[in-house]
Structure 1
Amino acid sequence: MTPNSNDFNADALAALPLRENLRGMTPYGAPQLDVPVMLNTNENTHPVPTDVVESIGAEALQAARSLNRYPDREFTELRRRLAAYLGEGLTERQIWAANGSNEILQQILQAFGGPGRSVLSFPPTYSMYPLLAEGVSTRYIAGIRNDDYTLTATSASVQVEEHAPNIVILCSPNNPTGTALGLDVIEAVYEASDACQSMVVVDEAYAEFALEGTRSALTLLPGRPRLIVTRTMSKAFALAGARLGYLAAAPEVTDAIRLVRLPYHLSSMSQATANAALAHVDSLLATVEEIKVQRDRIVDGLRELGLRPAVSDSNFVFFGGLSNASEVWQRLLAFGVLVRDVGIANHLRVTAGTAEETSAFLDAMRRILEDAPELAQ
């Protein structure tokens, strides 16, 4: 992991009486560089539509009039709107929200993890999972994927039976590979977890970008009280700066989360922003189809260059076939294009942005490989 800024001082930190399991760690963070084309953090690079900006402004102005009072602790209206957006017969009692899906995951770990407990996930996957686990002193178990980074129902269920974790986290579509899990994998994991009564969390941060026919784990919630599906408004809704994540689960799960949440954790401004956005779902999600077009264009373009992009259900593309990923990353940066080096040999990850950003990335890749063909394996 890289520090969030140059101000992080590991030597000074070491002198403090820090918890032992936090010693030697560095904060999570992707490079934040001022470049023309930023395609490294899977943001929706399209601007928030004007009608949504105006609606958020009006709602925020109204909320500002009562900032001397605490916000609605239960954010009732927001939960109602989120349930209506997700559909699947969900009610507000099955919805919980927090400051980004990371806080949702943290609250789940606080409620169901902790000292003497464990969480199983399957790297390469979202790199925050082990950090969140360490933050609440939960033992992190790194499961195993196939050589092509896929995960089968049989393999996943066998590993659950072997490790008997208290929590299993499945990322679908997976970050950084971009591939979605079949529902058979989630069903098999849930069944395998019966013996140890694991909570099974499906992180669907990129669900709105999934390929046609990909089914959400939301459809599996009925009759599965230990299943949790997490979502975010950061990606498809283009609201990364608003920090709003949420989950859908059985009502007793949201009751469990109430035991660990901080008082009034979701501010009046956050609630106002999310409520205004959810009144304009069609406008906000209009860019999703365009992003899918650019994602598929990236896949096709990289294949034409002789590289090996993975089929993606997300708003980014994970690609291999590089002899030196770090060198390609550096050369792309010289062209003003910032992508993500995810630390996997011979691979990089690029966000699908606007048509212009996609062209800039593909043009830069073409020029790099023309100049240094040895960088492609």
Structure 2
Amino acid sequence: MNSPADPLAALPLRDDLRGMSPYGAPQLQVRVALNTNENTHPVPQDVVEAIARRVGEAAGALNRYPDRDFTDLREALAGYLGHGLTAENLWAANGSNEILQQLLQAFGGPGRSVLSFAPTYSMYPLLALGTGTKYIAGVRAEDFSLTAESAARQVREHAPDVVFLCSPNNPTGTALGLDVVEAVYAAGEFHDMVVVVDEAYAEFARAGTPSALTLLPGRARLVVTRTMSKAFALAGARLGYFAADPRLADAMRLVRLPYHLSTVTQATALAALEHHASLLATVADVKRQRDRIVSELSRLGLDPAPSDSNFVFFACGSDAHAMWQGLLDEGVLVRDVGIPGHLRVTAGTEEETTAFLDAVSCYLGRS
């Protein structure tokens, strides 16, 4: 029930939307913002100039619709990913959230279901809700791990139409073994289930952590999603993409809005891909700061999870919100992900990481 003060109460909303809250992290003006898993390093100047040139060249044709099939961009994305992929294997949209939404529009919807394994990315149930897809919250072990046996058993139990596997997982930062992906795919073959591996943070993975891109050959219903928001430091550009069998990629044309990727978006992404080495040069530093956070939080007596992403999920005692507020009082904003006794912090620059660790020390010294 909506309260009388709810400004939406008088609107004829769908019943399943009533009382819902929109997704979003707090947007506060703070000294150090480490709550949304952005790459906090600024875009390198050579990339800024390349984007400006590309967009400037495209500006004269903004009276015309963009390339509806964004052919040049799909070719560039395939070249970046490698693994023998071609433009026909690639699809892109306005951020990986729109990618996931389009996948549910095509393969989910009324009378169908999507399974993921909680705790995981909190947008999954909201995307399911928005597309009329039944959301099934699978379970993980007490330490938030997920084995191939457990995942496959839950797939057989629920028989979903789509499965979302987040790897590295958000908010825990841990990557899945490829055996989990293989087991889930095999368990769903009898009813043509689509398996989506969300690799938004893949570029931050530790050495030896494999990508599900290696599993694409021979699996016509496997999808691997990526984004340019994280490692590429282009959260403001809104470009997500996936690799899959060409037939699955082609199916997205049935649900995408006409000309859904603007000329400016395509130009920005192409310039970034041409200079991806410069953009990804910050990844090594982010990983150093992430590992530093894990080491220092352990030294301070907290319990951080090993991370393959650009953030660290850590156990912080019984009152996570009190610690969240204590860090905020020091000008450092982290994420309270709603899991009792745990917080999540983005690995920022060296200076930002130092500010976070100093704030943690200060809080622990007071508590």
Q: Same fold (TM over 0.5)?
A: yes
Amino acid at match of 2:45: T
Q: Distance in 1 between matches of 2:28 and 2:313?
A: 21
Say which SS state the counterpart of residue 69 (structure 1) adopts.
Answer: coil
Q: Where does structure 2 lack aligned partners over 5 or more consecutive residues?
A: none
Tell me the C-alpha RMSD between the 2 structures.
Answer: 0.8
Q: Distance in 2 between matches of 1:187 and 1:14?
A: 46
Say which SS state the counterpart of residue 223 (structure 1) adopts.
Answer: coil
Q: Where does structure 1 lack aligned partners over 5 or more consecutive residues?
A: 1-8, 373-377
1:207-259 superposed Cα distances (whole Å, 9 cap, x missing partner): 00001000000000000000000000000000000000000000001111110
Q: Give the C-alpha shift of residue 16 in structure 1.
A: 1.2
1:142-170 superposed Cα distances (whole Å, 9 cap, x missing partner): 00100000000000000000000000000
Which one of 187, 193, 199 corresponds to residue 192 of structure 1?
A: 187
1:274 match:
269
Report 1:152-163 matches (<5 A): 152-163=147-158
Amino acid at match of 1:334: D
Conserved? CA contact 1:38–1:338, under 8 Å = yes
Report 1:180-259 matches (<5 A): 180-259=175-254
Conserved? CA contact 1:52–1:280, under 8 Å = yes
Say which SS state the counterpart of residue 15 (structure 1) adopts.
Answer: coil
Q: Distance in 2 between matches of 1:327 and 1:10?
A: 28
1:172-226 superposed Cα distances (whole Å, 9 cap, x missing partner): 0000000000000000000000112110000000000001000000000000000
Q: Distance in 1 between matches of 2:104 and 2:353?
A: 37
Q: Give the C-alpha shift of residue 12 in structure 1.
A: 2.5
2:302 match:
307
Amino acid at match of 2:343: L
Conserved? CA contact 2:316–2:343, under 8 Å = no
TM-score normalised by structure 2 residue count: 0.98
Amino acid at match of 1:84: G
TM-score normalised by structure 1 residue count: 0.96
1:101 match:
96
Runs of 4+, deviation exceeding 2 Å: none
Q: Distance in 1 between matches of 2:357 and 2:316?
A: 15
Q: Distance in 1 between matches of 2:18 and 2:30?
A: 33
Amino acid at match of 1:221: L
Q: Give the C-alpha shift of residue 126 in structure 1.
A: 0.2
Say which SS state the counterpart of residue 120 (structure 1) adopts.
Answer: strand
Say which SS state the counterpart of residue 59 (structure 1) adopts.
Answer: helix
Conserved? CA contact 1:21–1:137, under 8 Å = no
Amino acid at match of 2:185: Y
Amino acid at match of 1:246: Y
Matched, 1:34 2:29: yes
2:85 match:
90
Q: Give the C-alpha shift of residue 323 in structure 1.
A: 2.2
1:51 match:
46
1:41-63 superposed Cα distances (whole Å, 9 cap, x missing partner): 00000000000000000001111
Q: Give the C-alpha shift of residue 10 in structure 1.
A: 6.9
Percent identity over the alignment? 71
Amino acid at match of 1:259: L
